[in-house]
Chain A
Amino acid sequence: MTLLQVEDLSVTYRPRDSAAVRAVNKVSFTVGHGEFVGLLGESGCGKSTLGHAVLRLLEKPASITGGTITFDGRDVTRLGEDELRPMRWTNLSTVFQSSMNSLNPVITVREQFADTLAAHPDIAGERVDVDERAGELLELVSLDRGVLRRYPHELSGGMKQRVALALALVLRPRFVLLDEPTTGLDVVVQRDILDRLRELQRSLGFAVLFISHDLGTVMEMADRVMVMYAGEIVEDQPAADMVAGQLHPYSVGLLGSYADPRDAVVDVAFTPGRPPDLSREHPGCLFEPRCPVSVDACRTKHPELLPARRGRARCLLVEVAPDGSARTPNASPRDRSGTVFSADAAARNRGPADGEPILVVEGVTKTYRTQRALGSTTTTAVDDVSFALRPGRVSALVGESGSGKSTLARLVTGVEKPGRGSIRFKDTRVDRLRRRALRGYRRHAQLVFQDPFSALNPTRTVAYALSRPLRNHLGMDGAQARRRAAELLEVVGLSPAAQFLDKLPGQLSGGQRQRVVIARALAPEPEVLVADEPISMLDVSIRAEILELLDQLVRDRGIAMLYITHDLLSARLLADEVMVLNKGVIVERGPTLKVIGEAQDPYTRRLLAAIPRPGQERAPAMAGRSDGAGQTQSLGRPPHGD
C-alpha cells in the first residue's frame, strides 16, 4: 500500500541575482504505510530540499517546477496553504535538523503543544486536555511531565530533540519526516533517541522518511535506503541488500567510509572531488567527474534510474541480468593519482613511542565558577589529567561534549591557565607564560578548529589568512609570505596553489576550507598541533581525505598532535594512543587498538556501543572491496601496539 507517492518531482531555486539551480531533479519514489525509508546524501545533494518539498514547506526562491506529490491518493502538489493546513501535522509531521532552534524560544513547551492541538480541533478534539495529552507523549520519549512548564533554553539539546519528537507524534500522524533528527547530539544521546524512535515507529505504525548524511544510522534504522547525489536518486535498495552490495559507485564510496574501529585492519574510502554545479546542464552522468570506474559513455549519456535487483540504480555500468540480479560496476579505474593521497600502511613511520616528549601535561585541574542565585557553584572541567605528546605521534582525546576535551585544548595552547598542575613545552612552563612569551609559544603550538565555516574570515582571501601567522610569527614581508602561502597550499593538497590564493572562503568547499585552516595552523611551523574535531563538520566522503592529510603531516614533519574527537573510528585511524575522557577524568588510556579493541571502562564501552552497526555486523561487501583501488584509499594498517 502506497502512502506517499512522489513522481518526477523537480525543485528549482531561482535566486534574484544568480543562475537558477535545479536542486531536485525528477525524483520519483514511494513510501508505504508504516514503512521506514532512509534518504542518504551529503550536504548540498538536495535531500533537505526534497523533504521540504514533500511537506510543501518550500519558500522562495525555491519552488516545485515539475512532477507530483500524492499523499494517500490525494494530489497535494499544488494545494494552497489554506487547503494544506488541515492536512499538516495530522497526516504529515516532521522533526527538523537543528534541535537547538526548532522550538519557539519565548513560549513554554506546553504552549507549543497547546497551539498545535488547538489548530486541529477535529483531530485533537475540541476540549482536549493539553497537559494529559502532551504529558503522555513526553513520557513516550522518556521525558518527565515537568518539562511542559519549561522554556526551550532550559532544556539540553537531547531533551529538546525528544520534545520535538513528542510534538511530531502528538496528533498521531501517518507520516513523519525526520530531517537529520540527531545530528549534533552526543553519540550516546543519539543512540538513545534513535532506539526510542524505532520502537515508537513499530508500535504506533507511522511511516518515516529519514533524511541523514549519517550512513551508519540510516542503514541501521531504515527498511529501505535511497541514496541521493546532485539532486537525483542514484540508488534505492532494501537496507540489507545495500549493505551487502551497493549498486552505484557513489554508494560504494559512501559505505566505504564506514568501518568498525575494533577490526585489526580498518579500511576507509573517500571520494575525491565535489558535486557538480547544478546551475549548468550536464550531458553525462553527474557523478562521472568523481567516479573511479567511469567509462567514456558516462561523459555523454545521462543514465536513467532503472530497476536492479530488488531496487533501482542510476548507473550505465550496472548490468542487470534477465533474472533481475545486478552486478556492481567493476571497470578498470582511470588513473586518478595526483588528486588523491596514497597512504601505504607499510610506509607509515611514526615517531618512536618512547621518544623524548615535547609537551608534558601533569596533574592538570581546571575549575570554572558559575554565578548562581546564592553564591556560586564550581564545575571541574578537567580533573588531574596527565599526558605527554611526542614528535611524530598522535594522541587522541576521546569524549563527549562536556567531557572537558576542549578545555584541555585551550590549556595546551595557553589560552587558559590551569588551576593546578603544570604544562611543559620542552623546558618552558606554558602555564606560567605571560603576554609576549605566550605569543612566542603559540608559534609552536597551533590549533585546527572544528568548524571550517567560521574559522576563516569570510571577507579575506586565502592568501591573507595564511599570511597573518607568517608575518606575525616569522616576520616575513608581503612577497615572502605570499610565496610561502602558496607552498603551504601545495602541502595541504590545494594544488595548483595559484588557483586558491585569491579566493574567498565562500568560494571553497568545506573540505577545501578545512585544508586552508590546516595550512594556516602549519604556517608558523609548529611542533605541536591541536586538532579539535577537525572532521566532524565535513561530509563523510571527504573525512578520510582530511585524516589522510593530518596523518601525512605527522609523518613528514614530525609534528606532535593532540587529536580531539568524539568519534572512535577516526581516532582508530589516526592515533597511536587513545585517552578516553569522561567528566574531566581520563578513564582509560593506552595504545589505540588496545583501548578500542579491549575496552575496559563502561564509559568507553558505551561510546563503542553507540556506534551504529549496519546489518548488525561488518558488511562482507566492505571487507572484500579491494577492487577499484583508486577510490579506496587504504588508511588501514596492521595493529602497531607499540
Chain B
Amino acid sequence: MKFFVRRTGFFLATLWAAVTLNFLIPRLEPGDPAEALLSRLTSRTEAVDPAQLAAVRKLLGAPDGNLLQQYWEYLAALANGHFGVSYTYYPYSVTDVISEAMPWTLVLVGVTQIFSFVVGTALGAWAAYRRNTRTDSLITLGSTFLGTLPFFWIGLLLIFVFAITLNWFPEGGGYGGGSQPGWTWLFFSDAFQHSVLPALSLLITGPIGWILGMRNNMVQTLGEDYARLARAKGLPRRRIALTYGARIAILPNVTGFAIALGSILGGTVLVESIFNYPGMGRLLLEAVSNKDFPLMQTLFLFTTIGVLIANFLADMAYGLLDPRVRRKDAT
C-alpha cells in the first residue's frame, strides 16, 4: 500500500512541476505573440500601430498583472479547461481545435500502439520460446530488416502501391468527400477507409522494438536457473514459457509501453503529415510553423500530462507485476 501512496505523491509533484514549467517557459521566450499575430493578419512588414496591438492583446486575452497573478489565473484557467484562443484557427478556442483533432489521433495511434505492443510482445515471446529455430530466425531477422527501412519511405510506398497504383484506399485525409463527421455508418466506414494506410504504416514498424526487446529479455529469463528448475519440476511447457519466462521478461517492456502510450496524445507528426491526417501531430506541426502559442502550449501540456499519467499507471502495474519493486520502495 505504501508503494502506491508514494507513487501517487510522486505523480502529483511531477504533474505540478510540468504544469508550472509549461507556464514559465513561454514567458521566458523572446518575441511578442501579439505582434506576430498582427503582422500575420495584416501581412505587412511595416511598424504596427500601438492601438491595433493593444486591441489584439485584448482580443487574445493577453495576460496582465505580475507573474504570480498570472500564474494563479493560469492555474484557474487550467482547472476550468480554458486554454485560450488559437491564433491559427481564430476565433476557435484551443479546446475546440484540440477536441476535434484528439479523437482521430487517439483512435489511430492508440489502437495501433496497443496492437503493436500486444503483437510485438507475443511474437517476441514466441521467438524466445522457440529460440534458435527457424521461427526465431524468421521473426528476429524479419523485424530487424523492417526496422532498417525509413519510416516515411514505408508510408510513401504504401501510398504509391495501395492508393495510387491499386486505388484501394484514399491517399490521405481523415475522411473524404460526401461524408460529414457524425455518428453515421457512412462516416465511420469512410474514416476507416482513410485510416487503413496510416495504420498499416504504423503497424509495420510499431512491433519491431517490442519483438526484439521481449525476445532478448525472455531468452535471458529462460536461461536462468528458475526456468531450468521449472523444467526439472516437470511443469508443462506452457506454464514454463508464461510464468517462468514471459511473466518476468515483460517487466522492462511495461515501462516502455507506458511511455509509448503517453506519447499518443502528441500524435505522430510524421505519419499524420505524410497521410495528411487531421490528428494531433499535424496540429502540432501547424502550431509550430504558425507560432500559434496557445495551441502549442496546450499540446505540449497534453503530451506531458499524457506521459505522466501513463508512467504513473506503468508504475502501478509494475508494482503489481513485480513484487521486488514493491518491497524496495516500502522499506
Q: Is A101 a contact of B224 with CB atoms below 8 Å?
A: yes
For residue B245, which residue of chain A has the nearest CB? A104
A85 touches B236 (CB 8 A): yes
Contact status B330-A373, CB under 8 Å? yes
Contact indicator A154/B327 (Cβ below 8 Å): yes
Within 8 A of B (CB), among A106-125: 106-107, 115-116, 119-120
* Interface status of A151 (Cβ within 8 A of chain B): yes
Q: A60, B132: Cβ atoms under 8 Å? A: yes
A102 engages B225 (CB within 8 Å): yes
Q: Which chain A residues border B248 with CB–CB below 8 Å?
A: 104-106
Q: How near does chain A come to B220, taking the closest CB pair, in angstroms?
A: 12
A91-104 Cβ-contact flags toward B at 8 Å (1 or 0): 01110111001111
CB contact list, A72-94 vs B, under 8 A? 81, 84-90, 92-94
B225 adjacent to A96 (CB under 8 Å): yes
B261 to chain A, nearest CB (A): 22
* Contact yes or no, A153 B243, CB < 8 A: no
A98 to B322, Cβ gap below 8 A? no
- In the assembled complex, how far is the CB of residue B297 from the closest CB belonging to chain A, in whole angstroms? 38
**A147 CB to nearest chain B CB (Å):** 14
Minimum distance in angstroms from B219 CB to a CB of chain A: 11
Interface centre among A81, A102, A120, A153 (most CB of B within 10 A): A102
Contacts of A57 in B (CB 8 A): 228, 231-232
Is B230 an interface residue, CB under 8 A from the partner?
A: yes
Asked whether any CB of chain A lies closer than 8 Å to the CB of B65, the reply is no
Report which of A107, A119, A151, A164 forms a contact with B235, defined as CB distance below 8 A.
A119
Confirm or deny: A370 has a beta carbon within 8 angstroms of a beta carbon on chain B. Answer: yes
Pair count A-B, CB < 8 A: 87
Interface check B229, CB cutoff 8 A: yes
Q: Which residues of chain A are near B232, meaning CB under 8 Å?
A: 55, 57, 88-89, 92-94
Residues from chain A with Cβ under 8 Å of B244 in the complex:
104
Q: Does B321 contact A (CB under 8 A)?
A: yes
Chain A residue, CB-CB nearest to B223: A59
Interface string of B314-331 (1 = CB under 8 A from A): 000000011110010011
Decide: A101 and B237 in contact? CB cutoff 8 A: no
User: Which B residues are in CB contact (< 8 Å) with A87?
Assistant: 234
Query: Which A residues are CB-close (under 8 A) to B229?
Result: 94, 96, 102-103, 164
A119 and B327 within 8 A (CB): no
**Is residue B2 within 8 Å, beta carbon to beta carbon, of the partner chain?**
yes
How far is the CB of B241 from the nearest CB of chain A, in Å? 13
By a CB distance below 8 angstroms, the chain B residues around A102 are 225-226, 229
Cβ of A371 under 8 Å from chain B: yes
CA distance A119 to B322 in the complex (A): 24
Give A594 Cβ to nearest chain B Cβ, in Å: 42
Instruction: Provide the main secondary structure of the chain B interface.
Output: helix
Partner of A116, one of B2, B226, B235, B237: B235
Q: Is the CB of B234 within 8 A of A90?
A: yes
| A149 CB to nearest B CB, Å | 11
Task: Give chain A residues whose Cβ lies under 8 Å from the Cβ of B243.
Answer: 104, 107, 115
Q: Is B134 an interface residue (CB 8 A)?
A: no
- Closest B residue to A101 by beta carbon equals B225
- Which positions 186-238 of chain B face chain A at CB distance < 8 Å? 223-226, 228-237
> Which chain B residue shows the least CB distance to A370?
B331
Residues in A with CB closer than 8 Å to B7 are: none
Q: How distant is B254 from chain A, measured CB to nearest CB, in Å?
A: 12
Q: How far is the CB of B218 from chain A (nearest CB, A)?
A: 13
Whether, in the assembled complex, B27 has its beta carbon less than 8 Å from a beta carbon of chain A, the answer is no
Taken together as a complex, chains A and B put the C-alpha atoms of A105 and B224 apart, in Å, by 11
Interface residues of B in 114-164 (CB under 8 A from A): 132
What residue of chain A has the Cβ atom nearest to residue B247's Cβ? A106
Residue with the greatest number of chain A CB neighbours at <10 A, chosen from B2, B231, B237, B247: B231
Q: Can you list 15 residue pairs at the A/B interface with Cβ under 8 Å? A: A85-B234, A87-B234, A89-B233, A93-B232, A101-B226, A104-B226, A104-B248, A107-B243, A107-B247, A115-B233, A119-B233, A120-B234, A151-B324, A153-B327, A167-B233
Q: Which residues of A are interface residues toward B (Cβ below 8 A)?
A: 55, 57, 59-60, 81, 84-90, 92-94, 96-98, 101-107, 115-116, 119-120, 151, 153-154, 164, 167, 370-373
16 more CB-based (< 8 A) A-B contacts, given A89-B232, A107-B243, A151-B324: A81-B237, A84-B234, A86-B234, A88-B232, A88-B233, A98-B225, A101-B225, A103-B229, A105-B248, A105-B322, A106-B251, A115-B230, A119-B236, A370-B331, A373-B330, A373-B331
Q: List 8 tightest A-B contacts by C-beta distance, closest first.
A: A88-B234, A151-B323, A102-B225, A101-B225, A85-B234, A104-B226, A89-B233, A119-B235
